[in-house]
Amino acid sequence: MNAGERRAARHYRLRGWTLLAANAHAGGYELDLVLRRGRRLVFCEVKEKRGDGFGSPAEMVDAEKRRRVRRAAAAWLAGRPELAGLTIAFEVAAVRGGRVRRLPDAGLD
């Protein structure tokens, strides 16, 4: 995991989430973080920017990246029937200046 992914994973863990996978490869693509809390399963794409220029980290997630995350999530879930029935969500964790901002509606759904 890179520094942004470690920071995002820590952010989630401190809020009661369990990290199921990090940098998992499935369906030919990578999932940055897969997390679970209760009956909710989150596939999280982590984007980090160090400076203030060139927009927000979340803007780095384009339509192609969203498609890849959805495809990887479906492949990852296919190999884990015990997780069937959980509520699935997609989020972007935007990391900038050491702060993590969760974007649950960042267009990954």
46 inside domain: yes
> Is 109 within the bounds of a domain?
no
Contact criterion met (CB below 8 Å) for 91 and 103: yes
Distance CA 83, CA 15 (A): 21
As for how many domains the chain has, the answer is 1
Give the model's pLDDT for residue 15.
96
Number of Cβ within a 10 Å radius of residue 6: 13
Q: Which residues of the chain have pLDDT under 70?
A: 51-55, 57-58, 105-109
Q: Which domain holds residue 19?
A: 3-60+67-103
Q: What is the pLDDT of residue 100?
A: 93
Give the closest residue to 106 by CA, choosing from 49, 46, 36. 46
CA distances from 18 to 9, 15, 93 (A): 9, 9, 16
Task: Tell me what pLDDT residue 51 has.
Answer: 63
Q: Name the pTM for this structure.
A: 0.89
Tell me the CATH number at 16: 3.40.1350.10
User: Which pLDDT belongs to residue 80?
Assistant: 95
User: 52 - beta bridge partners?
Assistant: none
Task: Please report the pLDDT score of residue 97 as a whole number.
Answer: 84
Closest Cα to residue 100, out of 57, 41, 59? 57
Q: Quick one: pLDDT at residue 21?
A: 97
Residue pLDDT, tens place only, 2-28: 999 999 999 999 999 999 999 999 999
